[in-house]
Amino acid sequence: MEVTLSPHIHILEHKLNYIFKDKQQLAEALTHKSFKQPYNNERLEFLGDAVLDLIVAEFLFAEFRQKNEGSLSKMRASLVNENSFCKLAQSINLGDYLNLSVSEVNNGGRFKASLLSNAFEAIMAVIYLESGLDEVKRVFYPIMQREFHIHEELLPKDYKSTLQEYTQEVFGCIPTYEMLAQEGPDHNKTFTMQVKIQDTIYASASGSSKKTAQQEAARLTLEILQEQTTKL
């Protein structure tokens, strides 16, 4: 099977401080499905997401010994998401090495949060498969600590968790999310989600993934609830 890799892949390896052993699997991690090869990075992305979820949880567990489960969960959710992984991918210029179709490149694919996040998870999965969990930690932790000041109050907000806590306390239930629309081709979809609390629709929002749209809809809902509380 033909391996498609940038001739400058050694620059990426230098930034990661890691030399990949299996170049075919690395090519798979960097290949988007729009590139029309027998392989793409979706399976590796699935595995990488689970691996990063675990090692971020372990890092927070060891680093913040006084924090309870709720605080740790919020911190993990703020680090293990599309936007955070996109930022980490951008820090190593990962977009430069992606195998994309011409149309995807022309549509700004090298800069899309969803594509960068997925590829970042996929290359971490490759490191895990060929070198183990400790090696993923050695590569990932310095990147994470360089890009984020990991302190509970400084991390991005997890609006979904905040909204769920609020609705459980005030309404005695949890919010539900419904997809209103899914538009665009497979490699460039836009999702629109809405939030309902006890059959009342509060807000809707769009994003490049369901998670992103849900977070934004949750944020808007929290603003609406805050305004309603202020008027009381």
Residues identified as active-site: 49, 121
Q: Around Cβ 142, how many Cβ atoms within 10 Å?
A: 12
3-state secondary structure of 5: coil
Tell me which residue of 187, 228, 190, 193 sits closest to 98, measured CA to CA.
187
Beta strands 200-207 and 190-197, pairing class? antiparallel
CA distance 231 to 85: 38
- What type of residue is 14? H
- What type of residue is 186? D
Q: Extract the tokens encoding 111.
A: 């800069």
Q: Are the CB atoms for 144 and 85 separated by under 8 Å?
A: no
